[in-house]
Structure 1
Amino acid sequence: MQITDNPLMMEMQRLRGEVAPSQGLETQVTQQVNNTSGADFSALLSQALGTVTELQSNSAQLATRLEMGDSRVTLSDTVIAREKASVAFEATVQVRNKFVEAYKEIMSMPV
């Protein structure tokens, strides 16, 4: 599975393509709010977190099997699984950081 096969990355690329860069911020927000045909945000977030958890679990299982001497598991498979889990986790942390930053910015706006 390549990084582009990651559901979180595919969703981010899809969302990036939906909004043209020449549109104003107000138009972008209105378009996103009125987009009822899209998936529920909380469902997308839950799915992305589930994928990260699954990658981390798979990585841990491969590492355990390699340590136990399972001949069907190679070191390269284990390292690749660990890196996939690491990249997915780092992407999740960056998304969380952006949400916290946006929340702080919204909360500091005068009413």
Structure 2
Amino acid sequence: MSNTTITPDMLLAQMRSMAAQAQGAQTQGLQASQETANGQSDFADLLKHSINEVNNASQEAKQLTDAFQSGDPNVQLSEVMLAKQKSGVAFEAMLQVRNKLVSAYQEVMNMQV
């Protein structure tokens, strides 16, 4: 079992990597919204894809947590913490979108009365 020290440079590299991944996700989101505008995709597909991404982030965090708890020397605490935070933020964002959708639905239903 190797005991690797986490340096500030390692954390900075991980943060830069995550920023690059987030930038890629934003680009994919922009492409998806352009496809929707072009009629190539619909809202249900976009929502389903988003939910799957949140689920994947949650599963990844769980797998890393389990591996760390079982003593896997290849899994660092920083990886586990970042995955858990990423999963939490994604889930919170999904909840906010759901709340907005429910609110919009209620407004539409009130207009029909």
Q: Is 1:11 matched up with 2:29? A: yes
Structure 2 unaligned blocks of 5 or more = 1-17
Stretches of 4+ aligned residues off by more than 6 angstroms: none
How many residue pairs get matched?
93
Alignment partner, residue 58 of structure 1: 60
Equivalent pairs: percent with the same residue? 35
Question: Structure 2 length normalisation: TM-score?
Answer: 0.70
| Cα distance per residue 1:5-56 (max 9 Å; x no partner) | 446x9537975xx7xxxxxxxxxxxxx8xx4534121111111111000000
SS in 2 for 1:73: coil
Q: 1:65 to 1:77 in 2, by over 3 A?
A: same
Query: By percentage of residues, which structure has more helix?
Result: 2
Question: Structure 1 length normalisation: TM-score?
Answer: 0.71
Where do residues 96-107 of structure 1 align in structure 2 (5 Å cutoff)?
96-107=98-109
SS in 2 for 1:76: helix
Code of the aligned partner of 1:90 = E
C-alpha separation in 1, matches of 2:30 and 2:91: 15
